[in-house]
Chain A
Amino acid sequence: MKSLTLSVMPGPARVGIGGPVGSGKTALIEKLIPAFKQRNIEIGVITNDLVTKEDAERLRKSGLIAPERVAAVEAGACPHTVIREDPTLNIEAAEQMALKFPQIELILIESGGDNLASTFSLDLVDQWMFVIDVAGGDDIPRKKGPGVLQSDLLVINKKDLAPYVGVNFDAMYAEALAVRENRPVAAINSRSGEGVEAVVDFIVNNLLFNKTAA
């Protein structure tokens, strides 16, 4: 019955986090790190930037995670090329991290900021989420970009800003659910951390089976 045991998990799960520039991908990760720590889940992070290591440096200096558990990939081109068309650089970075830190159970792979057409290759990640924000406009779900439609989880960030940017948040959320045919949508405020636990639950329930069975 070896195959049916609960502890056999070959390597860490991988979750992609994509979305437009400024939607709050890095800010979300800054809230996810302590949330996973709270649940005794060991993680690593891979960031993607165009020609710098800006996001990796931000996380390394945050004090939230050991700096060596943050790896940086420089896309050198459109960010989606290294998470979809040829994700070799990210696959290599994830494999290296898993070798270096065998205790890691989850690797978060943050894409560089991209447009609504951005998607992840499933050769790279097991699941991926797409982060948009209310300040980017309440019409984003209606535009039905592949990132909005195809992601395993759509995250709508900065819900607290809705009244200040003329957005009816409930309508935006309902529209997001409708275009995704009721596939999961999470509403969060990555500054305060509101809603972040739901994102953690989503990842744990769908990928970290040995944790859900506890």
Chain B
Amino acid sequence: MIVLSEIIGSANDESLSEKLHQLQHQGGVEIIKLNVSDTSRSRQKVITDKGTECGIALSRSQKLYNGAVLYLDKHQAFVIRVNEEQWLRLSPIDAETALELGYHAGNLHWRIRFDGTDLLVALEGPAQRYIDRIAPLIDSKRVVCETPDAC
């Protein structure tokens, strides 16, 4: 198995981008697609878009990111592409509901961010799994939810 053990730079780096561009035309660039949550893993087995099975084994001081180049030579390159994060948008109707929603989000250890008065929850699984956990708030229309593909 191919083992990729270092990040040599970013695909946006001037020194790498031209070489990658040329390799791309030769079909030599293999893309490794990762979910955001998997970028924290120092070590993992992955399959590229061309079906090559690789092991990633980085030192723990290195973190994967979108565009990280893990290998590059005259014939072949391996580049990380991070899938776009999917967010569940939750809109509480008032401050009281917002407090309750915030309590649940914290209690469930959801990864969140704020957008005005809305709470955005990073989806690391099906949206329904998250919606089920706060069903009473949604069923009572105290929280309006919007999934990435709109509910």
Binding site for B on A (CB under 8 A): 1, 3-6, 8-11, 13, 84, 117, 119, 121-123, 126-127, 144, 146, 149-150, 205-207, 209-210, 212-213
User: B60 touching A212 by the CB < 8 A rule?
Assistant: no
Q: Does B43 contact A (CB under 8 A)?
A: yes
Partner of A117, one of B2, B8, B109: B109
Considering only residues 28-51 of chain B, those with a C-beta below 8 Å from chain A are: 37-38, 40-45
User: A126 touching B71 by the CB < 8 A rule?
Assistant: no
Q: How far is the CB of B21 from chain A (nearest CB, A)?
A: 21
Main secondary structure of the interface of A (DSSP, over half): loop
Interfacial chain B residues near A1, Cβ < 8 Å: 73
User: B1 touching A6 by the CB < 8 A rule?
Assistant: yes
Interfacial chain A residues near B43, Cβ < 8 Å: 13, 126, 207
Q: Does B4 contact A (CB under 8 A)?
A: yes
CA distance A10 to B59 in the complex (A): 5
Interfacial chain B residues near A126, Cβ < 8 Å: 41-44
User: Which partner residue on chain B sits nearest A91 by CB separation?
Assistant: B60
User: B125 touching A10 by the CB < 8 A rule?
Assistant: no
Interfacial chain B residues near A13, Cβ < 8 Å: 43, 57
User: B109 touching A209 by the CB < 8 A rule?
Assistant: no
Number of A-B contacts (CB under 8 A): 67
Interfacial chain A residues near B71, Cβ < 8 Å: 3-4
Partner of B129, one of A3, A4, A149: A149
Q: Does B127 contact A (CB under 8 A)?
A: no
Q: How far is the CB of A35 from chain B (nearest CB, A)?
A: 20
Interface size class of B (residues with CB under 8 A): 20 to 34
Interfacial chain B residues near A117, Cβ < 8 Å: 108-109
The 9 closest A-B CB pairs, nearest first, are A209-B55, A122-B40, A126-B43, A10-B59, A8-B5, A3-B71, A213-B1, A209-B1, A206-B45
User: B109 touching A9 by the CB < 8 A rule?
Assistant: no
User: A5 touching B37 by the CB < 8 A rule?
Assistant: no
User: A123 touching B40 by the CB < 8 A rule?
Assistant: yes
Partner of B2, one of A4, A11, A123: A4
User: B44 touching A4 by the CB < 8 A rule?
Assistant: no
Partner of B3, one of A8, A127, A150: A8
CA distance A6 to B73 in the complex (A): 17
Q: Does B131 contact A (CB under 8 A)?
A: no
Q: How far is the CB of B1 from chain A (nearest CB, A)?
A: 5
User: A209 touching B6 by the CB < 8 A rule?
Assistant: no
User: A144 touching B55 by the CB < 8 A rule?
Assistant: no
